[in-house]
Amino acid sequence: RKEVEQDPGPFNVPEGATVAFNCTYSNSASQSFFWYRQDCRKEPKLLMSVYSSGNEDGRFTAQLNRASQYISLLIRDSKLSDSATYLCVVSPDSSYKLIFGSGTRLLVRP
Amino acid sequence: EPEVTQTPSHQVTQMGQEVILRCVPISNHLYFYWYRQILGQKVEFLVSFYNNEISEKSEIFDDQFSVERPDGSNFTLKIRSTKLEDSAMYFCASSGDRGLEETQYFGPGTRLLVL
């Protein structure tokens, strides 16, 4: 089983749509959770950390379900500039490394 | 806003040659990392470095790889004898401290092509 699994997409949505991405992780000892975005041939950039209580940052909402080992990202009112690959990332307890999923590609069309 | 920088942006080398990839982490950060991303694949952890020594490394980080912080600002990744399969984008990252929700900031990467 992959350490971090994501639906590769692509998700092709119109501007203004709401889109949700899901992610599962295999290591129950994982301690920290993030969503990064990556534009084509660029570096990963932190979108948001994911907290147990769920958290929101503008149009973006992240949820964590530790019991199900499941992380989600909701994007409301999609913009053209949201087109990118969204990376689910976990960090195991007592480890410095980030473990990346393969990413979910989002295409927002006019 | 402080950022991680990397040089060169692109490197082409012949198989068997040594390459050194350079990174300048964010100035007050204490933890440094190298990751790689083979074209079309996911980002993979290589190594983490703290207090002038390796704190963790992956299976990818074999004897052909080494890291160094030669002065107070640079952090380097050396590949001693490159192989075709070393062709990838190499990202340097740094973080300030290892807290519960630590944030690693990534540099723009060095694209390495081994011929």
Q: Which residue in A32, A46, A98 is closest to B45 by CB distance?
A: A98
Q: Give the mean pLDDT of B104-111.
A: 96
- Which residues in chain A are contacts of B45 at CB distance < 8 A? 97-99
Interface contact flag, A98 B31, Cβ < 8 Å: no
Interface contact flag, A43 B103, Cβ < 8 Å: no
Q: Which residue in B56, B91, B105 is closest to A95 by CB distance?
A: B56
Q: What pLDDT shows up at residue A44?
A: 96
Which one of A97, A100, A102, A105 makes the best mutation probe of the B interface by having the most chain B beta carbons within 10 Å? A97
Among B16, B40, B29, smallest CA distance to B75 is for B29
Write B58-63 long-range contacts (CB < 8 A, 24+). B58/A97, B60/B36
Spell out a b/e string for B48-72, using b for 16 or more CB atoms within 10 Å of the CB, else e: bbbeeeebbbbebbeeebebebeee
Which one of A2, A43, A91, A100 makes the best mutation probe of the B interface by having the most chain B beta carbons within 10 Å? A43
Angle of CA points A9, A12, A13, to nearest 5°: 135
- Per-residue pLDDT of chain A (110 residues), as tens digits, is 789 999 888 999 999 999 999 999 998 888 889 999 999 989 999 999 998 888 999 999 999 999 999 999 999 999 999 999 999 999 987 777 999 999 999 999 99
Interface contact flag, A32 B108, Cβ < 8 Å: no
Q: What pLDDT shows up at residue A107?
A: 97
Q: What pLDDT shows up at residue B97?
A: 63
Backbone angles phi, psi at B86, to 5 degrees: -80, -10
CA dihedral A58, B105, B58, B6 (to 10 degrees): 140
Q: Is the pLDDT of residue B72 over 80?
A: no
